[in-house]
Amino acid sequence: MITTAHLTAEVHLVLCRARRTRLGLWTLALLAATTALAIHAGVADAGRTASRLGLLAGLMGAGFCAASDADRAALDLARAHPVTALALASGRWAALALLGATVASLHVAVLGFTGALGPGAAAAGLAAGVGAAGAAAGAGLCAAWLGGNALVGGLFAYVVLASGVPPDVWVIIVRPGVLRTAGAVVLEFLPGLWRYRELAAGDLGAWCHAGAWAGGGVAVAAWLLAGRRR
């Protein structure tokens, strides 16, 4: 399975991307904008903002560190070394989740330093950010190895534009039909802001959903990688 050396190498890869590509710039911009808005608006619900940051940073990481043609082609070289597809997927997931979790943690830390959060709210926000980052890393990795940047970009746009709408609100605002049903299914199934903002409150359904995306995403990504031999 995954070793410390492998995990260190994957984290190093993500750090290199953050330093040498726009990943670092975009992640910092996302962190700065979300944190500034939260402070300006006096937001006390860090679970909401931290889960959003965890989700978006995890997906951006997947886009920049796993989805390009070159990244996917480079997996062939890794597969010629003593490592299983599951270990490769687990290592990349862990590095992406760590990126998202770090961004969310920094956000919570800054809010805590400004006095906007109490210790309990900070801990809840931190947990929400880490949970959302894990789910985003699983979903993003899966999308990256299945459809590359196009699919990750689509998932990112969905999270930003639509995933804040809960399915029960969706079925009220959309007329009955295929669109309403499909939309509700998508909102229930994919990682979304409406669900993961509940992570901070310890909602079991939200944690199960995030866990399923983290574990399922790694499993599907490993299956996709192993399927390249066929």
Partner 1 sequence: MGGRRRGGGGVAPGGTAPVTAPLEARDVVRRFGRGRWRVVAVAGVSLTLAPGEIVGVVGANGAGKTTLLRVLAGLLDPHHGTVRIAGHPPATPAAHRVLGFAPDAPAFPPGLTVAEVLRTLAAFHAGRAGVRAAAERAIRLAGLDEVAGHLAATLSAGWRRRLALGQAMLGARRVLLLDETLAGLDPVARRAVCEQLAALAADGAAVLLSSHDLAAVERLAARVLVLRAGTVVREARTSELLGERVLEVTLDRRPAITPAGFRRTARGLELDVGEETVEAALARCRALGVPVRGSRVRLRTLEDVVVEALGDPALPR
Which parts of this chain interact with partner 1 (CB under 8 A)? 3-6, 8-10, 12-13, 16-17, 20-21, 68, 70-71, 73-74, 76-84, 228-230
CB of 26 to partner 1, least distance (A): 15
- CB-nearer residue toward partner 1: 83 or 123: 83
Q: How many CB atoms lie under 10 A from the CB of residue 55? A: 32
- Going by C-alpha positions, the residue among 59, 58, 60 that lies closest to residue 25 is 60
Q: Which two tokens stand for residue 111?
A: 């809010």
CB of 190 to partner 1, least distance (A): 28
- CB-nearer residue toward partner 1: 89 or 128: 89
CB of 7 to partner 1, least distance (A): 8
Rounded CA gap, 220 and 171, in Å?
Answer: 30
Going from the C-alpha of 94 to that of each of 62, 69, 214, the distances in angstroms are 11, 21, 10
CB of 103 to partner 1, least distance (A): 19
- CB-nearer residue toward partner 1: 55 or 75: 75
- CB-nearer residue toward partner 1: 3 or 114: 3
Rounding to the nearest 10 degrees, give the CA dihedral for residues 114, 118, 121, 124.
90
CB of 64 to partner 1, least distance (A): 9
CB-CB contact of 117 with 125 (8 Å): yes
What is the phi-psi region of residue 175: left when phi exceeds 0, alpha when psi lies from -120 to 50, beta otherwise?
Answer: beta
- CB-nearer residue toward partner 1: 6 or 195: 6
